Amino acid sequence: MNQRQLVERARRGDHDAFALLVGVFVVRLDAAARLILRDRDLAQDAVQEGFIGAWRNLPTLRDPDRFEGWLRRLVFRACIAMIRRQRRRVIEVALLPNDAFPSIGDLASIIADRDLLDEALRRLRPEWRAVVVLHYFLGMPLPDVAEALGIPLGTAKSRHHRSLDEMRSSIAAALETPRSRLAGGQLA
Amino acid sequence: MTAFDRFETRLPELMTELAQPATPHYVNDLLRQTARTRQRPAWSALERWLPMGAIARTLLPVRFLPWRPLLVAGLIVVLAVAALVLYAGSRSSLPAPFGPARNGSLLTSAANGDILAYDPATGTTRPVLTGGGAAVTFSSTGQSFYFDKTTTGAPDMWIANADGSGSHRVWSGPTTTTWIEWSQDGNRLVIAEHPTGGGTTVHLVSATTGVDTTVALDRVFTSVAQPYGSHSLLLVQEAEGQPTVFYLANDDGTSLRPLAAVAPAGFPSLSPDGSRIAYASWEDGYAKQGILHVLDLATGVDKLVTSGISTWLSPVFSPDGTLLAAQRFVAGTYDISIVALSGNKAPVVLGPPHNGADGSGASFAFSPDGAKVIVRYADDGSAWLFDVTGGDGQPLPGITTEFFSWQRAGK
């Protein structure tokens, strides 16, 4: 059974079909929400809100082929709503457990770049971070990013460009600063 | 290629490494919740049931129409009408259809939604519409303004007379709405939304009667305008990595035809007389973004306005069409600068640079007479009035949000 058929069945109330759709999309959407919100609990709330909204409103979706874009819109607008509600609350947690080391490749280089990215993303405003995550992690073109986040395309382009500018500055500054390794694998 | 350029190419891989995608632990709980949740009935959304043909206008095959001569002829008619209006209406309170006008009332939406009139000369503020809304915007005639009372993400558009009287709801739309502005003649709201079924639905909403004429188009347009004196729609199609195409269509959606295609672009802005579009190039790659162009719609000539040293966004034409004001980003800071469209003049920077890290840029607009520019900076919330020739500027403490609009007034 293909995805369109699953959507059509779920649209008619087949919850098992919907469960299969959840399995297809939840991994990437959960990861994206965590990258945007930088808080596992908030990301869980946003993803759940998006999927519950999708189940509830699925009968009103006219074109089953647009399910993925529609679902993304529900999840990421829930993320934006979460950002606005949490605006005064600053929670910055490391996204990685300390023992999450890759087993192949240039280990030190990968860890260093990953930590640079983590720090660069942390410095971005959440609304800007959302554009960067949707564009690079999910591979969404900027028009789709704008639609998913409910912002004008020009705003998406501006935030994307300026986010890169900020990340460029952040990473350049980090590369100029001598780094030492602390206990637990965290880099200073 | 810089170190960051190499980093940028690896962003997808690094983000995956950072996020460590895995099936979240709450999936079973999520499915228990959805199993207990009742679905909305399909009939509750009308678009679910209407066949595509009933709501999507079938476009006629693109015919060759001599649109350039028609556009030029239309502009000549407009200019003749404008001249007649100027001659016969020298004592009229209405401004000319476009071009420089007298500075009328300066309105701003306060944070609590009240709409206030602020006098830059005296620094005094008076209420115009208590509990109005955000995004206050005058029409080109200066006779009315719209504002947005949205609270849920779905636009709730109202219109009032210039003095704040007669406010009434004129249109409520879905959360898929992406574009709202006045037609250039000030008689309609031109609204674009992207329905979940795809394509673009354009709403032409009469400012006086509220009658909503919808035009369904089968492709995605990111911006829409109704140029002055025309029964046409100017539509912009931006798609990442693809040329940006400017289209013209009749205002019933028929005869959709391309006017011009340019390299990927963003931030299109129509000149006051509707004859040119300013935009910023937006090709793939950080260094190819934010170069300003002006495209002449009649001749198809595309003129490069800035170089690639700085990044320029959101160009706006001056009332007489000879200048652009735009945001300029340089090395992590930004300013608002004025660029002359003729002559090899250096940009005029308005005010000091602002921190590009904390704010969302600035809101800015020319005064109706074209002599000044209002700038409101998001990072520190300050608002200023600058002369287009530069200088220190005058602080405007009465402008407290990014929403303000200056009325074009007659003599």
What residues of chain B, 146 to 165, have a C-beta less than 8 Å from chain A? 153
Locus of tokens 């694998």: A185
A-B contacts (CB, under 8 Å): 183
DSSP bridge pairs for B189 = B182, B205
Rounded to a whole number of angstroms, the distance between the first and last alpha carbons of chain A is 50
Query: Which residues in chain A touch residue B24, judged by CB atoms under 8 angstroms apart?
Result: 26-27, 30, 44, 47
| Segment A75-79 mean pLDDT | 93
Residue B143 in contact with residue B161, Cβ under 8 Å?
yes
**Token duo for residue B401:** 């949000």
Q: For position B67, what pLDDT does the model report?
A: 52
Q: How many CB atoms lie within 10 A of CB A50?
A: 24
- Of A48, A47, A16, A56, nearest to A5 by C-alpha is A16
**Considering only alpha carbons, which residue of chain B is nearest residue A39?**
B19
> Between these two residues, A93 and B102, which has the higher pLDDT value?
B102
| B3, B7, B24 member nearest A30 (Cβ) | B24
Q: How far apart are alpha carbons A28 and A46 in whole angstroms?
A: 13
A59–B42 C-beta distance less than 8 A: yes
| A22, A28, A56 member nearest B31 (Cβ) | A22
In chain A, the percentage of residues whose pLDDT exceeds 70 is 81
Mean pLDDT of chain A: 82
Mean pLDDT by 10 residues, chain B (411 residues): 75 91 93 90 55 34 46 56 53 78 96 94 94 92 93 85 94 85 92 85 92 92 86 88 90 90 90 92 80 91 87 94 93 88 90 70 93 92 95 94 94 79
Q: For position B97, what pLDDT does the model report?
A: 84
Q: Does B307 touch chain A (CB under 8 A)?
A: no
Shortest distance between the Cα of B48 and any Cα of chain A, in A, equals 5
Q: For position A14, what pLDDT does the model report?
A: 94
On the CB side of A73, CA atoms within 13 Å amount to 20
Q: For position B307, what pLDDT does the model report?
A: 83
How many H-runs (helices) and E-runs (strands) does chain A carry? 8, 0
Residue A42 in contact with residue A66, Cβ under 8 Å?
no
Locus of tokens 């340089």: B330
Residue partners of B286: CB distance under 8 A and separation at least 6: A161, A164, A165, A168, B5, B8
Q: For position A136, what pLDDT does the model report?
A: 94
Q: Is the dihedral of CA B144, B150, B154, B156 positive or negative?
A: negative
A48–B30 C-beta distance less than 8 A: yes
**Token duo for residue A151:** 């912002």
Shortest distance between the Cα of A3 and any Cα of chain B, in A, equals 17
Q: Is the dihedral of CA B197, B199, B252, A153 positive or negative?
A: positive
On the CB side of B91, CA atoms within 13 Å amount to 0
B40–A57 C-beta distance less than 8 A: yes
Q: How far apart are alpha carbons A19 and B35 in whole angstroms?
A: 9
pTM of the model: 0.77
B14–A171 C-beta distance less than 8 A: no
Shortest distance between the Cα of A25 and any Cα of chain B, in A, equals 10
Q: For position A91, what pLDDT does the model report?
A: 46
| A59, A137, A167 member nearest B41 (Cβ) | A59
- Is 80 exceeded by the pLDDT of residue A180? no
Residue B235 in contact with residue B246, Cβ under 8 Å?
yes
- Is 50 exceeded by the pLDDT of residue A179? no
> pLDDT tens-digit profile of A120-146?
999 888 889 999 999 999 999 998 898
- Is 60 exceeded by the pLDDT of residue A93? no
B10–A55 C-beta distance less than 8 A: no
Residue type, A46: A
- Is 70 exceeded by the pLDDT of residue A95? no
- Write down the H helix ranges in A133-187: 142-149, 153-176
Residue A14 in contact with residue A28, Cβ under 8 Å?
no
Q: Is the dihedral of CA B183, B237, B367, B123 positive or negative?
A: positive
Residue type, B382: S
Shortest distance between the Cα of B220 and any Cα of chain A, in A, equals 10
- Is 80 exceeded by the pLDDT of residue A90? no
H-helix or E-strand containing B200?
Answer: strand B200-206
Q: For position B183, what pLDDT does the model report?
A: 93
